[in-house]
Amino acid sequence: MSDDGAQDPERHRFDRRMKVWEVSLKSLSGALAIFGLGIAIHKGVQAEERRAAEQEASRRQQVLEFDLKERDKLSDACAKAIGAAATIARASDRETARPEIGVFWKLYGGEMCLYEGAKVNRAMADFGVELDHWKNGAPPEVLMVQALDLSRSCRAELAEMRDQAYRAAITRR
């Protein structure tokens, strides 16, 4: 019995050590599982942030493209209005300028209203007032001055739109 009695305390110590190892391994497994879950959550959050950033970048690109399209439309409309105003101001008489006068008023009441800002609006209105005052003979010199003012206003407004789009693109990054 002394052998059995000697084995029992050793067996008991062995069993206790095994239970300690078992608890330690289970604790380590649980900690690793929690760590893995934390990493999975972190990766999920990163993926969601990446998706949100990509959506925001796509939205910014769409806004920038829209701004550029609007600028192009204003640029085209300004080119037509400047061309009409310059042709009117250089005409030999009102009858010769009649087709371009029609173009100017069509732009004034249509396309330019859609895209112009305050500067171009004022220049178009000023040119229109002087155009209405011109009844016959050679165009008054003030029409050339107003045509040049329209050209300057268009360039200034287009530059302003370009700068705004550039600043918006920079601040959105």
Enter the DSSP assignment of 74: H
pTM over 0.75: no
Cα atoms in the Cβ-side hemisphere of radius 13 Å centred on 151: 13
Distances in whole angstroms, Cα of residue 54 to Cα of each of 44, 79, 135: 15, 37, 60
Alpha-carbon span 114 to 125, nearest angstrom: 15
Q: Cα-Cα-Cα-Cα dihedral of 149, 154, 160, 162, to 10°?
A: -150
**Does residue 172 carry a pLDDT above 70?**
no
| pLDDT reported for residue 72 | 84
Q: What is the pLDDT of residues 112-137, one digit of tens each?
A: 887 788 999 999 999 999 999 999 99
Least confident of 2-6, 28-32, 75-79, 151-155: 2-6
